[in-house]
Structure 1
């Protein structure tokens, strides 16, 4: 496999790999390093890529495993998460702040989820993978993925309701 063939295969999912790495590692710099390391590993084994049924799923699994290894290592450093991809048109400043605060709360709540739920919600709700693909990536049955996703969403929803009601039931 030459370089242009390799790029045609791996470039379509480069951003997804980065977003998953950023979700797990929090730091943009760490996520960039993880993405670069993943593509370096894929390049080293470029002759074996054709053997995989779904290169994207394989790359996402490699990313997940690499990020977990980084988090387990003593070199891992967590920086604050900065949300920057929300844009609203022609809304008042107070509404913008309210929306931004809600989005930041959701990100914080996602970060507090157990690792498995965090990965599943990232892959399903942000990366838009279907349940079977996620199941292959995290080595779970699709029904177990659906249950974990439901629990993660329920946890986030309940915590957001508590925050918006100021703790009043």
Structure 2
């Protein structure tokens, strides 16, 4: 692609830009943003490539791939992931303890659960809200996961583990 074709492609993609409601409260225009589409980012990457700006080309192409987007210590993780919405292997709930967080998923029913960012209670790896979820692994290999599980064998196993 030559430079004039790349400029035409960028302008064509830029013409498609529109306002998008903000993440938190999209009811006020100052909370809205203009989202760059994959097409625009690819067109900008192609333009950067024609100008010999390889670092910018790589950066723009990277933004077209799905990213982790987990925020830890005010740092955004931009690791590439297989599917949009999935956390990277470093930021799965099971690794929460390495960041000082609860190891239970913030929303366990999500397709790609994120870390609960609450501090675990003393002597355990879970926060107060998630400590009551059953950890017992059933015969089929699944974790029970019931809140305040009433199953007598599960209660006994939890009590025995707590006494150790």
Give yes or no for TM over 0.5.
no
Flag the structure with larger Rg. 2
TM-score bucket (shorter structure) = under 0.3
Indicate the structure with greater strand content: 2
Question: TM-score under structure 1 normalisation?
Answer: 0.20
Relative contact order higher in (CA < 8 Å, ≥ 6 apart): 1
Indicate the structure with greater helix content: 1
